[in-house]
Structure 1
Amino acid sequence: MVSGLVVGRLALVTGAGSGIGRAACQVLSKEGATVIAADRNYEAAVQTIKTHTALAPGTNGGEEHSAVELDVSNSKAVQDLVQDTLKQYKKPPCIIVNSAGITRDNWMLKLSEEDYDSVLNVNLKGTFLVMQAFAKAMAESSVSGSVINISSIVGKYGNMGQTNYASSKAGVVAMTQSAAKELGKFNIRVNAILPGFIDTPIIKTVPDKVKEQIMKLVPLGRLGNPAEVAEVIAFLSSDKSSFITGAAIDVSGGY
């Protein structure tokens, strides 16, 4: 018998091919959820399901985990995923984790309009499109749910070379707070997590000297682990957080 925080629930995780998204799939499945791993890199999403998730609750005849290819900035692709999910699972996910995100770093005076737009399209617009489409499906099906949007501590304090990324992640917090006010009447909770510097593929592009400077600003003195963010995602997905909505929670080691 499966036990855990989110037993029997269906979860959609975007950006599931690596980093925080992959860790979220791992922890949510461990806690009893059926997981839909969505990523622009389909093979990475498949790998998440194959090697980074606990046994699906439906292995003995019920629901199974699945992997899907998804460009969150493409509204048609998002709408198609809603329909495909309803067809396959006969219900919408009640847990939505918006973890898809990209960086295109450069000094503000050198940042191209294309790199600004691409980051905003994925990080902010993509989060909006997924949240809007799946919250509508939940509301129409009278399904209570929890949406967890992944922002960043950079959206709170800014960071050199990341004017595009910081603005996209600050927007995610404001959007989360507004959506929470609108969706509460449907018993859909919406919260944001602001990870600090987490040991993900994105942080691997940061020069070692810069990492050393960052560590001096983190009271716990280390990078975070994706699983440490995923555990907060699981909490916000569960009934343990039933009176929390519109919150923005730092998971940053005190940065």
Structure 2
Amino acid sequence: MELQGKVVAITGGGKGIGRSIAVRLAKQGVKLALLDLDDAAMAETVQLVADAGSEARPYNCNVADEATVEATFNQIVADFGAIHGLVNNAGILRDATLIKVKDGKVVKKMTGDNYSLVVDVHMKGAFLCAREAAAHMVEGGVEEGVIINMASIAYHGNFGQSNYSAAKAGIVAQSKVWAKELGRYNIRSMAIAPGTIETDLLRTMPPEALDKLAAMVPLKRIGDVDNIAQTVQHILENNYLSGDVIEVSGAVTL
């Protein structure tokens, strides 16, 4: 895909990995639709995109709500005239072990609500956004469309993350299905599985904790958000990438 002038929507586009993707793509002439629930963060990213020489518009959107997602993508197409790419990046964490045991007694359980919330935001949210983006790509007659789904190396299974790991595994599966279903319309679907990436959340950790995380990575360093943004750009530009997962983890294996 030639990036100049294309329109790409990014969920979770207000900060972190989403912001980094937006700024990198803006430098390539991409117009951005930013979906998030944090209006202040989106406003900052809109300005960063403008500083990079392109245009972004913010859309307050709960990606797990079907009616809201439908309305948001209708508005994106009304505002920009088309949509060519989607990065499903929105996500939350509600970590806990399945059960917590003390002295042979179960003292805590992962709640069904926290399981469902994480699955809804990650997996259902990606499904709803991909469905709407693909529908507009087909009906809008775009020559090529790309859907990029943010998984995680946790899709292999990560301690204390039944909900998150299941959601990310589901995202990988969905991404592969969409590559098969949408290929006839020249719409590609790929997944990216980041490892440990330096985000705002990670930067709040004590230095010694960060050092321990880095020591677990064979490359002995934590990844940067731009490492993920680079991968997004590569997928968009390489028109024979579809149906696969690119792990950006510094060789970490769970």
Give the gaps of 5 or more residues in structure 1. 57-63
Matches within 5 A, 1:220-239: 220-238=219-237
Q: Is the 8 A contact 2:26 2:49 kept in 1?
A: no
Cα deviation, residue 205, structure 1: 6.4
Question: Of 50, 58, 68, which residue of structure 2 is paired with 1:67?
Answer: 58
Asked whether the equivalents of residues 97 and 147 of structure 1 are also in contact (C-alpha less than 8 Å), the reply is: yes
Q: Cα distance, 1:206 vs. partner?
A: 6.1
> What is the CA–CA distance in structure 2 between the aligned matches of 1:136 and 1:85, rounded to whole Å?
13
C-alpha separation between the residues in 2 aligned to 1:153 and 1:45?
A: 27
Where 1:80 maps in the other structure, the secondary structure is helix
2:22 corresponds to which of 25, 38, 45 = 25
Conservation of the 8 A alpha-carbon contact between 1:142 and 1:186: no
Question: Which has the larger share of strand?
Answer: 2
What is aligned with 2:102?
none
Within 1, Cα distance between the matches of 2:138 and 2:30? 20
Q: Secondary structure at the match of 1:190?
A: strand
Give 2:95's aligned amino acid. D
Aligned match for 1:105, one of 92, 95, 107: 95
- Offset, 1:51: 2.6
**Structure 2: 5+ residue runs without aligned partners?**
100-108
Aligned residue in 2 for 1:55: 53
Asked if 1 retains the 8 angstrom alpha-carbon contact of 2:193 and 2:248, the reply is yes
What is the identity, as a one-letter code, of the residue corresponding to 1:115?
N
CA distance in 1, matches of 2:115, 2:239: 36
**Mapping for residues 1-255 of structure 1, pairs under 5 Å:** 6-52=3-49, 54-56=52-54, 64-91=55-82, 93-109=83-99, 110-143=109-142, 144-156=144-156, 158-204=157-203, 211-238=210-237, 241-255=238-252
Runs of 4+ residues over 4 Å off in structure 1: 204-213
- The one-letter amino acid paired with 1:35 is L
Q: Output the CA distance in 2 between the equivalents of 1:235 and 1:104.
A: 31
Deviations 1:172-204 (A, max 9, x none): 001000110000000000000000000113435
User: What is the TM-score normalised by the length of structure 1?
Assistant: 0.89
Question: Which one has the largest radius of gyration?
Answer: 2
Identity %: 33
